[in-house]
Structure 1
């Protein structure tokens, strides 16, 4: 990746998260009292941009966020919260006709979560946005994509990147029941599903390393050059061309899994842009995701590069328990 310009572009969703913390997640029709709630930055696009930007600080790495917010108070808040990460917001458009996206999150005592998203301005993105950001897409080292904006826009952005030689990294979340269209498989380089998304895309739920290996091979057969199966607390399995491997889980005390996958993808894009070999970049990505689980919140849980380096080097972390 060293011959590519050193900037990353996240093209996707920007939300405000309203997160309630309760002893358990309610059943349908049930009300559960939460111990607390918080309002913060979210959206998989914003989370990945924030994670990459925080990781890239001090490395000469610039990160852009392309997408839309509303002109409402949540839009102002989203921009205010993104700014300290060092994300370049010049490609983040204000949409007067649609509200800023909102995610309603419940986190239980075991750090598991459920999320309901009202997309708002995220779902108003159109081909004009892809055209407007074409120079950024074409000159990026990596394009981070997710599935919280219209699918045809994700496909169009991926196609622009593929034609320019920009690395396309897709977090297939939320994964559609019908799977991904062939046009998207043909335009992506790396796909990074979690266990649930892996099952939806391949029919295999990766509870074991062996099952993850089968799923990763299936993802390659579908069109991904590189497949990473994120198994949560069980580790990460990857296939890169004919190379394959398993990264065991890092020793951390998880308190909140929200945005851990986004920090994983931000870490992957950062490591690859900084020239790390693929297998090593997966370890840095896994460490980024693991560290995110040791902190509360979504984007704000993103670690710094030296923290990730330390975890990769030592295999454990002491600062966060």
Structure 2
């Protein structure tokens, strides 16, 4: 296939304000933070930033409002090496925003807001850009675009990856069958299969996904559990290395970006997962959300 093998990431973009606090309160109080930063963020955004930091070409398809926050997102992401030529500004809609509290243990409280007007009208996607792409990574925040892009990508043999995070079940069930690689967060898997152990839940969903090559779930400090069609009778656990986390914000998104980097570089499933584990571990040891995404040299050094 001709092309540069770039990765195309599709999903939501937010202008994020994060505060470093001594503790996350359980009741109404006034807090004085120890630090603050504002950056463009989101699941597909942070995955794209990780891919760019690893040195692979990546572009982001998304929507923001035609407002100051939207322009700030464009400028911020372009400065990080992401192709934002298809990050469109929509008149009459507000750019999504989020407020985040991060405590010294790296835990966080996230409050996002998405303007329902932003995704209300359809957008003509540049599907010709999929020709020659190495992979398409879709999150659950712009499902209409994700569905169209994954259908087209599959029709031309481009691998599709779904960041299956928490979303209404109907959105997950709509997108999952279109992905070659379905990668759940722990909370999303539990929402689809309440009360079931992760392995049992994965096996149940695999039966509904005859087109999937890999189905897995990230389990935070416990690592990941992965099923692959090449070995359909087993679930492979991939433990995470013990670390001292200072900021877990966007760690799962960095994991997904690193996984896709491994996919387009031709790594096997186990190698991809271990590569993603190393990238996420490095990120968790650094503050700053997605700004803690590592370089390729740092990940390779971590892997030894």
TM-score normalised by the chain length of structure 2: 0.89
* Alignment-derived partner of residue 219 in structure 1: 205
Q: Per-residue CA shift, 1:189-222, capped at 9, x if unaligned?
A: 11222221120122246xxxxx333233223123
Instruction: Return the alpha-carbon distance in structure 2 between the equivalents of residues 282 and 252 of structure 1.
Output: 17
Contact 1:170 1:192 in 2 (8 A): yes
Over aligned residues, Cα RMSD in angstroms? 2.3
Q: Which runs of 5+ in 2 are unaligned?
A: none
Tell me which of 135, 139, 164 is aligned to 2:132. Answer: 139
Q: How many residues align?
A: 299
* Alignment-derived partner of residue 79 in structure 2: 84
Structure 1 SS opposite 2:85: coil
Q: Please report how far the alpha carbon of residue 113 of structure 1 lies from its aligned counterpart in structure 2 after TM superposition.
A: 1.1
Contact 2:106 2:248 in 1 (8 A): yes
CA 1:135–1:141: 2 relative to 1, 3 Å: same
Contact 2:63 2:90 in 1 (8 A): yes
Q: Per-residue CA shift, 1:6-39, capped at 9, x if unaligned?
A: 1100011121111122222222544444333221
- 1:29-178 correspondence runs (5 A): 29-55=28-54, 57=55, 61-120=56-115, 123-124=118-119, 126-128=121-123, 131-149=124-142, 151-176=143-168, 178=169
Q: Which runs of 5+ in 1 are unaligned?
A: 206-210, 314-321
TM-score normalised by the chain length of structure 1: 0.85
Whether 2:273 is the aligned partner of 1:282: answer yes
Instruction: Return the alpha-carbon distance in structure 2 between the equivalents of residues 4 and 246 of structure 1.
Output: 35
Q: Please report how far the alpha carbon of residue 250 of structure 1 lies from its aligned counterpart in structure 2 after TM superposition.
A: 2.1
CA 1:141–1:66: 2 relative to 1, 3 Å: same
Structure 2 SS opposite 1:175: coil
CA 1:84–1:107: 2 relative to 1, 3 Å: same
